[in-house]
């Protein structure tokens, strides 16, 4: 019978439902510490297969021991996300991590136009990553340049949107957010809130989709809610919540 120590050193794939405000590295550090305590070792490899922003929740895949070699392969697999894009305003980072900076009209936007615009995103396209992102430029993360107030050119990346379903949501934005006071006294109440489900390839920034979606609609857009629900064949329904992490032992 395989011991817990051998199990984690040989390698395990652990599916975690990342909570709001936690970074991906917070989750890795928490799980690594728990494994070390459980199997009584001083060192063990634990890594994640694809970052989630602090304001995103959902599927985070962790690999331990020798299975950390599979991380690159897992990262290349298709991903599915659900969430809410709010039209009518922008933020500097395209989500609620920053305050609203500019408001735009939305009176000309109908549900038919929204659905038609979503269809225009299907297929291969070039996407420019947000400046407030972990994308590397000349050895530095893009967000490091942003913090220093430097202007840099971010080269576009080819992505492929396989599916993009949208619908207008009448639910107040406060009720859709797990914690509406994370970064603002109140999220943007006005505008149009669009629920979405998207299936895309590696390297797709959903915040950039929100930005581009608003621009295509001759308005502005930002991401209000984001949840990753699938990576390859791995589903959020099979993930463990942080408070139930002891079940992996």
Q: What is the pLDDT of residues 152-176, one digit of tens each?
A: 777 889 999 999 999 998 766 666 6
Confidence band of 180 (pLDDT split at 50, 70, 90) = very low
231 contact partners, CB below 8 Å, separation of at least 6: 49, 50, 59, 61, 74, 77, 78, 79, 80
Query: Mean pLDDT lowest for which of 22-26, 189-193, 214-218, 232-236?
Result: 189-193
* pLDDT at res. 241: 94
* pLDDT at res. 66: 93
* pLDDT at res. 130: 81
* pLDDT at res. 9: 87
Higher pLDDT, 42 or 174: 42
* pLDDT at res. 1: 41
Please identify which residue in the block is written with the tokens 């894009």. 85
Residue 24: φ, ψ to 5°: -60, -35
Is pLDDT at 128 greater than 80 in this prediction? Answer: yes
User: Percent of the chain at pLDDT above 70?
Assistant: 84
* Contact call for residues 89 and 98 (beta carbons, < 8 A): no
226 pairs with which residues across the strands?
56, 83
* pLDDT at res. 120: 97
Establish whether 17 is a catalytic residue. Answer: no
- In terms of residues, how long is the chain? 249
Q: Taking residues 168-189, report their average pLDDT.
A: 61
Is pLDDT at 141 greater than 80 in this prediction? Answer: no
Q: Kindly report, as residue ranges, where domains of CATH 3.30.2350.10 are found in the chain.
A: 4-76+234-248, 79-231
Rounded to whole angstroms, how far apart are CA atoms 188 and 103?
10
Is pLDDT at 97 greater than 70 in this prediction? Answer: yes
Both tokens of 48, joined, read 């994640």
Interior angle at CA 83, CA 181 and CA 197, nearest 5: 180
Full-model pTM: 0.89
The predicted-structure confidence for 216-233, as pLDDT tens digits, reads as follows 999 999 999 999 999 999
Write the Ramachandran bin of 46: left for phi over 0, alpha for psi from -120 to 50, otherwise beta.
beta
Higher pLDDT, 98 or 236: 236
Hey, what CATH topology would domain 4-76+234-248 get?
Pseudouridine synthase (3.30.2350)
Is pLDDT at 73 greater than 50 in this prediction? Answer: yes
* pLDDT at res. 134: 66
Domain 79-231: assigned CATH number: 3.30.2350.10
Q: Which is the catalytic residue, given 17, 26, 53, 72?
A: 53
* pLDDT at res. 224: 92
* pLDDT at res. 184: 47
């Amino acid at each position: 019978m395989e011991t817990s120590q051998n199990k984690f050193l040989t390698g395990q794939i652990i599916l975690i439902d990342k909570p709001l405000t936690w970074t991906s590295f917070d989750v890795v550090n928490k799980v690594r510490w728990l494994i070390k305590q459980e199997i009584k070792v001083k060192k063990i490899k634990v890594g994640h297969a694809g970052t989630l922003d602090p304001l995103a929740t959902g599927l985070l895949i962790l690999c331990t021991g020798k299975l950390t070699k599979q991380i690159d392969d897992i990262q290349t697999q298709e991903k599915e996300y659900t969430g809410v894009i709010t039209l009518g305003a922008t933020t500097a980072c395209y989500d609620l991590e920053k305050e609203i900076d500019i408001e735009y009209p939305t009176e000309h936007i109908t549900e038919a136009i929204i659905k038609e615009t979503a269809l225009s995103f299907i297929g291969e396209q070039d996407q420019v990553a947000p400046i407030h992102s972990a994308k590397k430029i000349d050895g530095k993360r893009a967000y490091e340049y942003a913090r220093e107030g430097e202007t840099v050119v971010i080269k576009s990346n080819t992505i492929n949107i396989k599916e993009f379903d949208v619908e207008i949501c009448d639910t107040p934005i406060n009720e859709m957010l797990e914690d509406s006071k994370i970064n603002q006294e109140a999220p943007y109440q006005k505008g149009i809130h669009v629920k979405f489900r998207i299936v895309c390839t590696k390297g797709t920034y959903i915040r950039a989709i929100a930005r581009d979606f608003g621009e295509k609609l001759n308005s502005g857009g930002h991401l209000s809610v984001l949840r990753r629900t699938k990576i390859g064949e791995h589903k959020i329904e099979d993930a463990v919540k942080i408070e139930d992490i002891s079940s992996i032992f």
